[in-house]
Amino acid sequence: MNFNTALLHGVSQADKNGATIEPIYQVSAFGFETAEKLEKVFNNRASGFAYTRISNPTVESFERKISALEKGIGSVACSSGMAAVTMSLLNILEAGDEIIAGSSLFGGTIDLFGDLLAFGIKTKFVNNVTAEEVEPLINDNTKAVFAELIGNPRLDVVDLKSVSELVHSKGVPFVVDSTTATPYLINPFDYGADIVVHSSSKYINGSGNSISGIIIDSGNFKWDTARYKVLEEYKKYGKFAYIAKLRNGIWRNVGCCLAPMNAFLNSIGLETLGLRMERLCNNALRLSEYFEMVDGIDVNYPALKSSKYYDLVQKQFGGKGGAILTIQTGSKESAFKLINNLKFAINATNIGDIRTLVIHPASTIYAHSTEQQKINAGVFEDTIRISVGIEDLIDDFSQALYYI
């Protein structure tokens, strides 16, 4: 099945009335005819829905579609991308554990790793998530290696295969935030990732109308319960141990479930992921090629021949570079002028919308970061991040450049 066919027909619809999209079950609880039946559902001895914080048909329908799309054995949807990142890790971590992560991560994730210090969980950062940089930092306390496949906004690309080979040889799982790559560019499990998370607020939703996240389990990682003692109780679930613990443990108890309405909006958005990404990647390449010709503008886009990630983009993503690019205009003043002169591109802090969005990261998302954190994230005083939309806005950028 090609990508779009699989999106629309890959997962059979469960609705008994034949609804073409799973309807919105906008309810908190489900009634049962007998106490025996509800007892079974509560004890995982029968399938069924009891309470929406734990599971809901509309949410489950979205989860099944994402599991199929990412070729995982199961997934758990969350109230936000940050909730997904947090739960993907807290599901396996205890006080005293360490994470190894890239220093170019999304700002919220960097801040989260700071918050985890209060719970005795320490993160060691590497400048580039490569086997060479990660290896010396791995020790007995290392319980996860975490990376963004295409860093936002540094746009560095991780070579999944070489990093996963290394971390597996040390008995550590590779957790990958694939938000900016999307399943259209790659299935990270094919390259050795063990757990994938998405902020589905972005490309999966596509229209910027709901905050949400999702965690997908490959089922491939061999959890050694001597090392991951927290999974001991879930050993009986075999390859489903991680996802079973998530749904029955911390995720449900923290209560960061996805609302049925938002799951429904995501399922609608998901149907056009292939169409949108095809257009977004083409537009991003064209716009970045345009910027390459403009004097005084430096452009960073991983699918450009001038990018050091060009070969990796060919190998891992079939030549597609995603839909984010950054430009450097020479000064903060000129960056602001350019943004203010744009007629259509919207100045907003989001990515993955069908509309083109621009932002000056240094004065906004990274306003509270240290100078070193900004450099690590590829954020300079004159950097503008462009989340390319489905429109054709080369003319808009070219008229705005005229004034700077």
Residues in contact with ligand PLP by the rule CB under 6 A:
80-82, 85, 106, 108-109, 148, 152, 177, 179-180, 199, 201-202, 211, 213, 351
For ligand PLP, which residue has the nearest CB?
81
What's the rounded Cα separation, in Å, for the pair 47 and 287? 49
What is the nearest approach in angstroms of ligand PLP to the Cβ of residue 69? 18
What's the rounded Cα separation, in Å, for the pair 262 and 111? 25
Instruction: Report which of 221, 248, 209, 231 is spatially closest to residue 53, judged by C-alpha positions.
Output: 248
> Helix, strand, or coil here: 329?
coil
What is the nearest approach in angstroms of ligand PLP to the Cβ of residue 152? 5
Q: Pick the closer one to ligand PLP by CB: 258 or 304.
A: 258
Give me the residues paired with residue 144 across strands. Answer: 99
Q: Pick the closer one to ligand PLP by CB: 163 or 214.
A: 214
What is the nearest approach in angstroms of ligand PLP to the Cβ of residue 213? 5
What's the rounded Cα separation, in Å, for the pair 155 and 220? 28
Instruction: Report which of 102, 166, 109 is spatially closest to residue 136, judged by C-alpha positions.
Output: 166
What is the nearest approach in angstroms of ligand PLP to the Cβ of residue 1? 28
What's the rounded Cα separation, in Å, for the pair 70 and 374? 32
Give me the residues paired with residue 126 across strands. Answer: 102
Cis check for the bond before 153: say yes or no (omega within 30 of 0).
yes
Q: Pick the closer one to ligand PLP by CB: 152 or 218.
A: 152
Q: Pick the closer one to ligand PLP by CB: 180 or 334.
A: 180
What's the rounded Cα separation, in Å, for the pair 104 and 379? 10
Q: Pick the closer one to ligand PLP by CB: 150 or 167.
A: 150
What is the nearest approach in angstroms of ligand PLP to the Cβ of residue 389? 16
Q: Pick the closer one to ligand PLP by CB: 313 or 377.
A: 377
What is the nearest approach in angstroms of ligand PLP to the Cβ of residue 287? 19
∠ CA(282), CA(103), CA(375), 5° rounding?
A: 80
Q: Pick the closer one to ligand PLP by CB: 83 or 345.
A: 83
> Helix, strand, or coil here: 237?
helix
Residue 176 near residue 188 (C-beta atoms within 8 A): yes
> Helix, strand, or coil here: 359?
strand
Strands 213-217 and 195-199: antiparallel
Q: Pick the closer one to ligand PLP by CB: 180 or 316.
A: 180
What is the nearest approach in angstroms of ligand PLP to the Cβ of residue 385? 11
> Helix, strand, or coil here: 355?
coil
End-to-end CA gap in the chain: 48
What is the nearest approach in angstroms of ligand PLP to the Cβ of residue 376? 15
Residue 258 near residue 368 (C-beta atoms within 8 A): no
Q: Pick the closer one to ligand PLP by CB: 164 or 179.
A: 179
Residue 22 near residue 13 (C-beta atoms within 8 A): yes
Give me the residues paired with residue 383 across strands. Answer: 328
What is the nearest approach in angstroms of ligand PLP to the Cβ of residue 83? 7
